[in-house]
Homo-oligomer: A and B are copies of this chain.
Amino acid sequence: MHDLDASYAGKKVLITGGLGFIGSTLAHRLVAAGAEVAVLGALLPDGGGNPHNIEAIRDRVTVRIGDVRDRAVLEETIPGVEVLFNLAGTLSHTDSMKDPWTDLDINGRAQLGLLEVCRARNPGVKVVFAGTRAQYGRARYLPVDEQHPLVAADANGIAKTAGEAYHFLYHAHYGLRATSLRISNTYGPRHQMRHPRQGVFGWFVRQALDDAPLLVFGDGRQVRDAVYVDDVVEALCRAGASEAADGEAFNLGASPVALVEFAEAVVRAAGRGRVELRPYPESSRRVEVGDYVADTSKIRQRLGWRPAVSLEEGLARTVAFYERERAHYW
C-alpha cells in the first residue's frame, strides 16, 4: 500500500454518485485503502448508476439511495464526513439540451445545497468536485490549460461551470476546502452500457462486443483526450488528500486520440466489430466542439499525478471486464 492509500486508512469518506462509473471505481479503491466509505446514489433512469458496480464491496460500504437535490439526504449523509467526493451529476450533452432545467438543478442548484450543508454542519470537510472539459466549450487553443476561458457550448457545461464556481465561492468566502477536477472523456469498467448519451467511448466497447458496426460521426478526426478510469480515481484520491489542491481546478486527460482511432483500438482489443463513418445526426453536430487536448501540467506538477494506464492496456482491461460482467450491463 503506498502513502496515498495509507492516508485514507480509517478516513470517513462520502461519494455522491457512488453507484456510477467513476464513483464506484473510487469506492473500490478507498475500501481497499481501509477507508470508511459511504456511497450516495440516486439511480436515476438513464443515469450512470448501477448497484452491481459495488457488488464486490457491498458488505464494506454504506449505501444510501437518495438524490443530491434532496436537502434532507444531504443533511443526513454529510455530517462527520472527512472527504466528500462530489461526483453526482448529469453529463449528457444532448440530454442537457433537451432538459436544461434538470441539468441545472443537479449540477448547479443542488451543489448550493451540498455546499451549504458542508458550511453549516461540517465546515472542516474536504470536497472534491467532478468538473468536466465541457466547461471550456470549443477550444481556442490546444492543449487547453486551466486558464482557458470557460465558454461552454452546451447546457451541461454551463451548469457544471456554475456548480464548480459555487465550490470556489464557498472556498473564498467561508474557507471551505474545495477542489475541482475538469475531467476529459473517461473510459473503463463500470460505465453504463444501455445508451450512448453519456459518451461514445463506452458505446464503442458495447458495439464491438456485440460485433456490430462502431458508428463514428463525420470524418472521425475529432480529437478527444481519453483517460482510463483508474487514472481518474488516482487523481481524485490525490486531490482529496492534498491541502495544496484547495481552491484549485485541475485538468485531467491522458491519451489524445482521434475518435476513429479510438474506435479502431476498441475493435483490436475486442477482436470484433468494425468501424463505419456516418454523417452527423443534428443533435450531435450541434454539441460537437471540435478537438480537445488537456494540458495536464498543473496536476502533474502540483499533485504529482500522471496517467499510468496506456490506451491499449486500458481497453484490454475494459474488454475483459465486460466479457465477464456483460449480463449486468447490457
In this complex, what residue of B is CB-closest to A152?
B165
Specify which of A100, A150, A152, A161 lies most central, judged by the most chain B CB atoms within 10 Å of its CB. A100
* A301 close to chain B: CB less than 8 A: no
Specify which of A104, A152, A161 lies most central, judged by the most chain B CB atoms within 10 Å of its CB. A104
| Contact indicator A104/B112 (Cβ below 8 Å) | yes
By size class, the interface of chain A is 20 to 34
* A118 close to chain B: CB less than 8 A: no
- Which B residues touch A109, using CB under 8 A? 101, 104-105, 109
- Which B residues touch A147, using CB under 8 A? 149
Distance between Cα atoms of A104 and B101 in the complex (Å): 12
Q: Main SS of the interface on chain A? A: helix
Distance between Cα atoms of A8 and B73 in the complex (Å): 52
Distance between Cα atoms of A227 and B158 in the complex (Å): 29
* A223 close to chain B: CB less than 8 A: no
* A154 close to chain B: CB less than 8 A: yes
Distance between Cα atoms of A162 and B101 in the complex (Å): 12
* A252 close to chain B: CB less than 8 A: no
Interface segment out of the listed A166-174, A210-218, A268-276, A308-316: A166-174
Distance between Cα atoms of A149 and B168 in the complex (Å): 15
A249-270, CB < 8 A from B: none
Residues of chain A touching chain B, judged by Cβ–Cβ distance below 8 Å, are 97, 100-101, 104-105, 108-109, 112-113, 147, 149-155, 158-159, 161-162, 165-166, 169, 172-173, 286
Q: List 9 A-B contacts (CB under 8 A).
A: A100-B112, A104-B112, A108-B162, A109-B109, A112-B155, A147-B149, A152-B169, A154-B169, A161-B165
In order of increasing CB-CB distance, the 3 nearest A-B pairs are A158-B165, A162-B162, A100-B112
19 additional A-B pairs beyond A101-B113, A152-B169, A161-B165, beta carbons within 8 Å, are A100-B112, A101-B109, A101-B112, A104-B104, A104-B109, A104-B162, A108-B108, A112-B155, A149-B149, A149-B150, A150-B150, A152-B165, A153-B172, A154-B169, A155-B169, A159-B162, A161-B161, A161-B162, A162-B162
